Amino acid sequence: MKIEELIDGGEQTAVNVRAVLNILLESPYFYKADDERLFLVLMRYKRAFEAFFDKFFGWKLVMDGKCARLYKPKWFNEKITLPNRDMFTFTKRDECMAFLLLLEFFERECREQGVTADDRENLRFRFGDLLEYASSRFRALMSGKEENYTDERVRQILKGIMPQLEKYRFLHKVKPSADDSVSEIETIFECLPAMWHYQAAELAKPVTEEQNEDA
């Protein structure tokens, strides 16, 4: 069945389909937790939505049990240069490495805690645990420059990327209870479903190649 047929098939179905189309275009990720009813509409008519975006836009619908996103392989308006495009990206080497190390940390924690993409609850972690892992990995990766990556320097790098990760909904900072006063180290973050759509090993290739060129 085509999207056009769904829209013409009944008023309520048309309302639901239009709502899903708008949601997919309003933000990079559509989570089941955003609107479970509409997420189930998307799951039910997944093939129709896939065909629609492929035919009219050349985009790919990527979806699992808790997250849906549209993958756009090409930017058409070249007059809008990369710095002016509203998209998730890091351009500085240390920021790129910090994001990759977050993914590594996420994958390790999922393995150790037995967490999967299908679990009802998302993985949570202490900022201090991420800092400890990232500091060690930065110094291991930046051989000969270890003195540049003290715990304090790595803390600053991580703190610098957190607003982007929260804005694009990779992470959610868990608010402490009104009675609790939580330090930065003890701050809890929840890993949102988009984290499962990235693999550290694949993303690391361009960064490690650049690193080797700089050596």
The residues near 71 (Cβ < 8 Å, ≥ 6 apart) are 59, 60, 61, 62
| For residue 70, pLDDT beyond 80 | yes
Q: Pick the closest to residue 166 from 82, 78, 79, 102 (CA basis).
A: 102
| For residue 30, pLDDT beyond 50 | yes
Residue 209 pLDDT: 52
| For residue 206, pLDDT beyond 60 | no
| For residue 19, pLDDT beyond 70 | yes
Q: How many CB atoms lie within 10 A of CB 39?
A: 21
Length of the chain, please? 215
Beta bridge partners of 62: 69
Beta bridge partners of 59: none
pLDDT (tens digit per residue) in 77-127 = 889 887 787 777 788 899 999 999 999 999 999 999 999 988 999 999 999
pLDDT (tens digit per residue) in 124-158 = 999 999 999 999 999 999 988 989 999 999 999 99
The winner for highest mean pLDDT among 30-44, 106-120, 169-183 is 30-44
pLDDT bracket for residue 36 (50, 70, 90): very high
Residue 207 pLDDT: 47
- Span 166-194, average pLDDT: 90
Residue 215 pLDDT: 45
Q: If DSSP codes are grouped into helix, strand and coil, which group holds residue 189?
A: strand
- Find the angle CA(126)-CA(172)-CA(208) to the nearest 5 degrees: 70
- Find the angle CA(151)-CA(154)-CA(157) to the nearest 5 degrees: 155
90 touches 99 (CB < 8 A):
yes
pLDDT bracket for residue 34 (50, 70, 90): very high
Q: Pick the closest to residue 113 from 103, 125, 104, 101 (CA basis).
A: 125
Weakest-pLDDT range from 82-96, 152-166, 178-192: 82-96
pLDDT bracket for residue 8 (50, 70, 90): very high
- Span 1-25, average pLDDT: 94
Supply the CATH classification number for the domain 88-214.
Answer: 1.10.10
Domain spans, the chain: 3-71, 88-214
Q: In whole numbers, what is the pLDDT of the chain averaged over residues? A: 89
pLDDT bracket for residue 200 (50, 70, 90): low
Among residues of the chain, what percentage have pLDDT more than 90?
A: 73
43 touches 168 (CB < 8 A):
no
Residue 166 pLDDT: 95
Q: Pick the closest to residue 107 from 69, 71, 70, 133 (CA basis).
A: 133
Strand extents, DSSP E, 55-181: 60-63, 67-71, 124-126, 171-173
